[in-house]
Amino acid sequence: MTFHRGRTSSLASGFSARLIIVIVVIAFLAAPAMWSRADGPDIVLAGSDSALVSLAPVTSLVAADNTYDNGDALRLTWVPSIDDRLIDSKIIGYRVYRLAGTGEPEAIADLPPGSNQYLDETVLRDSVYSYYVSTLSERAEFPSNRTAVISPQREWINLDRGYLFLIALAIAGAVIYYVTVAKRGKKLFVRKIAGLEAIDDAVGRATEMGRPVLFIPGIHDMDDVQTLAALTILGRVSRTIADYESKIFMPVARSLVMTAGREVIKSSYQAAGRPDAYSDDMVNYITDEQFGYVAAVDGIMVREKPATVFLLGAFFAESLILAETGNSVGAIQIAGTARPAQLPFFIAACDFTLIGEELFAASAYLSGEPRQLGSLKGQDVGKVIAMVVIMIGVISLTFAEAWKIEFMQDILDRLSVVFSTN
Amino acid sequence: MRQLVPLTITFCVGTLLIVSVFIPPLGDLERTFTLWFDIIAVFAFFLGGGNLLRVHINKLWRRKKDWGFSIVTLAGFATMLAAGLFKIGNPGDIATAVDAPGSMFYTIFDSVVVPLGSTMYSLLAFFVASASYRAFRAKNREATLLLLAAFIILLGRTPFGLMLTEWVPDSFSLLQIPNLAIWIMNSPNLAGQRAIMIGIGLGVVSMSLRLILGIERSYLGGDNA
């Protein structure tokens, strides 16, 4: 009985063992498929490939909200496939897939090998998304696990720009402070700017020679601060021209500049008490096309032979062509631009050049108005800040590199954080 | 009133754009305002085109000096306008882009405007030579330094520069002309450029504040008294 019982028990236990083995084998075989359904898509083959090379997928894929934005971006980071490190890597890139809510996966970006992050800027605030990244070979895709579901969030203040805000506040505060001080009647010293001192002489020369003054305000539109600076100078120049009863001609490359230029010159002639001498023909639109404009202005210079040429505003490759043509007709030339790449050309070809900030200071300088001069003084505070920071940076870098002083390295790191504009 | 409206708009838009740098929900304002500006500029183009026509028709009518050039200008204007407006020779229907390859507009632009532009641009080579000749004359100490720096950089960018100083030992490699040229470009030149850039940045801030606060208004045609 015991035997029987024992035998029955033995048979039952053998059957159970086989059953368990079968279940384990089935489970083992089915596991990858079940796993892939739960966390990521299957390997995708492009056409048949008997010699498929298997590639490791990316790992540690994380989707996070992009900080300090309007809730319209999500940032993905991952560790690239280990096969990406091989010299003869079979990886041709990575493909980012996005799932909006419970929707189907959508390929949103193809990235080159070695990529380890992606900023998705096509998401909607408060919607939910998840992602996976496929490693691409010539014939197949090897997907990673899916990220957790995430929703982009809006932030109201960009704290990354806190230091930028403080610096801007300091400089703007200094400008406003000195404007107020100047308004109270305090005398402010402004160094002489040779190019601006020469304006009266240059216009006087044109009057004596009976030739016109040519004013070229660059080739950019009214949305460029250099064009605005040029027009503010035009106001002073045209007033002098009106006083001297000389002639001005201003060919422009933008329609809005034409309209604004006419208003400025008209107002100057009225202020000089000679409104009858003003004509709309003083300002003409030529063309928006860069070298078409240059050809026309060069032609005007050669035919009209102006005694004085002003080249003030935003200039590009045409700067030297215009300046050299002006030089060849014997005109006295006053130039100014805030484009450092064009400054050497103007310095080489013109009699006077307003370098960078001098272009923006010109209007205040010429007006001599205390409030405007005050703004120049405020600008100097910014220069002092820049000089002090540069000195600290140079000293810190020297000590940190030469004597490996950690404290100096900390100062450098702090400076790079403070003056980062991102 | 003539100045009050533009000054108010300048103040509001300027302030909003500064604030938008620090407030992410306003981040798209710059793009929006730029778009608005472009739309206004398109309408202003009619003013420019109208002015161009008026000036040249007037010149032709009165047979002013060089009136022959006005015929070329008006013919070019009319041809391009017709080619663009009526999409003459456009492959496909009227919905295709005005500058689609094969269209009359594209052909004229590609075979006339582009070569003419390139011709003007190529003048730069000769003007660089003549301007350099004048700038590099050793008139005084500064001009002599400029000449010397230019000479080293020109030589350093040619194989001849390396050939001349190849014998200099590696411990003094900075004295090899190509390395010296790189040093001049990366150290004194870059330092000077950065100083100018800082000045420009501060100048833009100061100028912008003057415009936003209405201290500077001569660009509106006022304040010239």
All domains in chain A, ordered by first residue: 44-143 (2.60.40.10), 199-350 (3.40.50)
Going by C-beta distance under 8 Å and a sequence separation of 6 or more, which residues neighbour residue B148?
none
Give me the residue from B37, B51, B218 closest to A232, CB to CB: B218
Query: Mean pLDDT: which of A33-37, A46-50, A412-416 is highest?
Result: A412-416
Confidence of residue A241 (pLDDT cuts 50, 70, 90): very high
Which residues from B are below 8 Å from A168, CB to CB?
18, 205
Angstrom distance (rounded) from CA A228 to CA A46: 58
Question: What is the pLDDT averaged over residues A71-99?
Answer: 92
Average pLDDT of chain B to the nearest whole number: 90
Whether A284 sits inside 8 A of B45 (CB atoms) is no
Residue in chain B closest to A262 (alpha carbons) equals B221
Whether A320 sits inside 8 A of B127 (CB atoms) is yes
Which residues from A are below 8 Å from B18, CB to CB?
168
Residue A305 region by backbone torsions, left for phi larger than 0, else alpha for psi between -120 and 50, else beta: left
DSSP secondary structure of A283-343: EEE--SSHHHHHHHHHHHHHHH--SEEEEEEE--THHHHHHHHHHHTT-EEEEEES-TTTH
Confidence of residue A34 (pLDDT cuts 50, 70, 90): very low
Residue B13 domain-assigned (yes or no):
no
Residue B72 domain-assigned (yes or no):
no
- Write out pLDDT tens, residues A203-232: 999 999 999 999 999 999 999 999 999 999
Which residues from B are below 8 Å from A338, CB to CB?
200, 203-204
Give me the residue from B27, B128, B207 closest to A229, CB to CB: B207
**∠A416-A337-B113 over CA atoms, to 5°?**
115
Tokens of B129: 């030579």
Question: What is the pLDDT averaged over residues A282-308?
Answer: 96
Tokens of B113: 């405007």
Question: What is the pLDDT averaged over residues B50-57?
Answer: 94
What per-residue confidence (pLDDT) applies to A51? 53
pLDDT at position A21 over 70: no
What per-residue confidence (pLDDT) applies to B136? 85
10 Å Cβ neighbour count for B223?
20
Question: What is the pLDDT averaged over residues A140-151?
Answer: 94
Give me the residue from B24, B117, B219 closest to A155, CB to CB: B24
What per-residue confidence (pLDDT) applies to A274? 94
What per-residue confidence (pLDDT) applies to B218? 80
pLDDT at position A37 over 80: no
ipTM of this complex: 0.91
Bridge partners of A140, per DSSP, are A45
Q: Kindly state whether B188 is in contact with chain A, defined as any CB-CB distance less than 8 angstroms.
A: no
What per-residue confidence (pLDDT) applies to A15? 54
Residue B92 domain-assigned (yes or no):
no
Residue B191 domain-assigned (yes or no):
yes
Give me the residue from B41, B48, B196 closest to A285, CB to CB: B48
Preferred mutation among A167, A285, A289, A366 to probe B, highest tally of B CBs within 10 A: A285
Q: Determine the distance in angstroms separating the CA of A285 from the nearest CA of chain B, rounded to an integer.
A: 5
The parent domain of residue B173 ranges over 136-225
* CB contact residues (below 8 A), chain B span 46-65, against chain A: 46-49, 51-52, 55
Residue B71 domain-assigned (yes or no):
no
What per-residue confidence (pLDDT) applies to A38? 41
Question: What is the pLDDT averaged over residues B172-183?
Answer: 93
Average pLDDT of chain A to the nearest whole number: 88
Give me the residue from B34, B48, B222 closest to A258, CB to CB: B48
Residue B38 domain-assigned (yes or no):
no
The number of folded domains in chain B is: 1
Confidence of residue A16 (pLDDT cuts 50, 70, 90): low
Residue B55 domain-assigned (yes or no):
no
Which residues from B are below 8 Å from A222, CB to CB?
37
Residue B68 domain-assigned (yes or no):
no
Considering chain B, what percentage of its residues have pLDDT values greater than 90?
69
For residues A224, A230, A232, A237, the Cα torsion angle rounded to the nearest 10 degrees is -170
Tokens of B57: 């028709």
Considering chain B, what percentage of its residues have pLDDT values greater than 70?
98
Q: Kindly state whether B222 is in contact with chain A, defined as any CB-CB distance less than 8 angstroms.
A: yes
pLDDT at position A11 over 60: no
Which residues from B are below 8 Å from A175, CB to CB?
205-206, 209
Whether A255 sits inside 8 A of B131 (CB atoms) is no
Angstrom distance (rounded) from CA B105 to CA B85: 9
10 Å Cβ neighbour count for A179?
23
CA distances from B110 to A345, B76, B94, B116 (A): 30, 14, 20, 10
Give me the residue from B48, B120, B221 closest to A263, CB to CB: B221
- Write out pLDDT tens, residues B83-113: 999 888 888 777 888 888 889 999 999 999 9
pLDDT at position A36 over 80: no
Angstrom distance (rounded) from CA B37 to CA A263: 19
